[in-house]
Structure 1
Amino acid sequence: MKIGLFFGSFNPVHVGHLIIANVVQDRTDLDEIWFIVSPQNPFKKQKSLLHEFDRLKMVELAIADHFYFRVSDVEFHMPRPSYTIDTLTYLSEKHPNHQFRLILGGDNLKHFHKWKNFEVILEQYGVYVYPRPGEQPDLKHPNISFVEAPLMDISATFIRDSIRKGHSVRYLIPQSVEDYVKDKKLFL
């Protein structure tokens, strides 16, 4: 099977993530999309993140009815901070019958050369890139494919701030995720 890996903090997962994953799965040769919940992104501050199990649960709730989506806690059991190449290597060893490709926003492609072993990721795995507002990626490589997708400018920061201020987040996050956030009083 060909698996697209969609890494993220998902703090919280929102409809932008789901729309992009759905479009990428539909318009490429990928059989499934695995949401890899990152416990600690090397480029983000840990203190702003909800506990990893809450973020994992929100993704589980958000994708529960989608046949081609899975969620993974693989990075919860790996050294931190998490590096994409280490996760790709681990998953390839654990699932030798699968082919893995990275799913990346155009904004991340600009800094991709700073990633640990980015050349290995390109050569051995490849990348599907979806557009991001205001970004014109210029990195060219035979294993980089650009996917036509809607420009999504939904910010998890905006969602967290809205929740803190008591504003509605309806239509920004799935109802099941909103219910979970309210029940657990998250982001307050």
Structure 2
Amino acid sequence: MKKKIGILGGTFDPPHIGHLIIANEVLHHEKLDEIWFMPNQEPPHKIKTGTVSNENRLQMLQLAVQDHKQFHVQPIELSRKGKSYTYETMKILSESYPDLLFHFIIGADMVEYLPKWYKIEELIKMVQFISVNRPTYKNDTEYPIRYVEVPAINISSNLIRSRLKKGESIQYLVKDEVKSYIEENGLYET
């Protein structure tokens, strides 16, 4: 039987408790073997807003997942230049790991964009999409997507960056190790 791997992509700028809760809920609900957190280089649907290096994002993500034996970091997209298209990444991963079954985790906010995803028809044959609920978004789609209800936690990396710029607390929004890393490296201060 093939191992089932969930892929949770994102900018993780910085990684926060919401990311970990989503991963844990999907892991157990879908009976996956592992979750791979995949920081992306340049998502096609977002304007680049981050202020820290890929190395910092990667280090924070490793700190965030280090105490969960089924959570791992997959840095494949950070070594590629330009926009990160899920189809291209999943093609590489599927060819590199033919003995694994991949599940791609998205928020309900991304479900409505699926028709616009690069090579979506080929992609849905490669991976099982799993959508998690997000406030004010619906999971309506024609695509074969599984749904997982997760606790509604309205935390975003943008909120954390904003709080840090204002000198406000991010306690309990990120893991303590991530908070310490941010403070020690003076990240998000400007």
Runs of 4+ in 1 over 3 A off after TM superposition: none
- Between Structure 1 and Structure 2, how many residues are aligned? 187
Q: Counterpart of 2:13?
A: 11
How far apart in 2 are the matches of 1:25 and 1:155?
A: 21
Distance 2:132 2:49 in 1: 28
**1:98 Cα deviation after fit:** 0.6
How much has 1:45 moved relative to structure 2? 2.4
2:96 matched to 1:109? no
Which position in structure 1 is the counterpart of 2:185? 184
Q: Give, in whole Å, the separation in 2 of the partners of 1:125 and 1:45.
A: 26
2:39 is equivalent to residue 37 of structure 1: yes
Structure 2 residue aligned with 1:63: 65
- 2:149, 2:7 → 1: CA distance? 17
Indicate the residue corresponding to 1:2 in structure 2.
4
Q: Is the 8 A contact 2:106 2:129 kept in 1?
A: yes
- What does residue 171 of structure 1 align with? 172
Q: Which whole-Å CA distance do the structure 1 matches of 2:47 and 2:140 have between them? A: 27
Could you tell me how far 1:46 is from its partner in structure 2? 2.7
Counterpart in the other structure of 2:129: 127
Post-superposition Cα deviations, 1:156-185, rounded to whole Å, max 9, x if no partner, equal 111101111111000000000000000000
Structure 1 pair 182–14 and aligned structure 2 pair: CA distance change class (3 A): same
SS of residue paired to 2:38: strand
Q: Return the alpha-carbon distance in structure 2 between the equivalents of residues 79 and 119 of structure 1.
A: 24
Q: Structure 2: which 5+ runs fail to align? A: none
Aligned to 2:22: 20
Runs of 5+ in structure 1 lacking a partner?
Answer: none
TM-score (norm 2): 0.94
Whether the 8 Å CA contact 2:51–2:188 is kept in 1: the answer is: no
**Alpha-carbon distance in structure 1 between the residues aligned to 2:120 and 2:155:** 27
Tell me the percent identity: 36
Query: What TM-score, normalized to structure 1?
Result: 0.95
Q: Once superposed, what is the RMSD of the aligned Cα atoms?
A: 1.1
Question: How far apart are 1:49 and its partner, in Å?
Answer: 4.1
Q: Distance in 1 between matches of 2:80 and 2:31?
A: 29
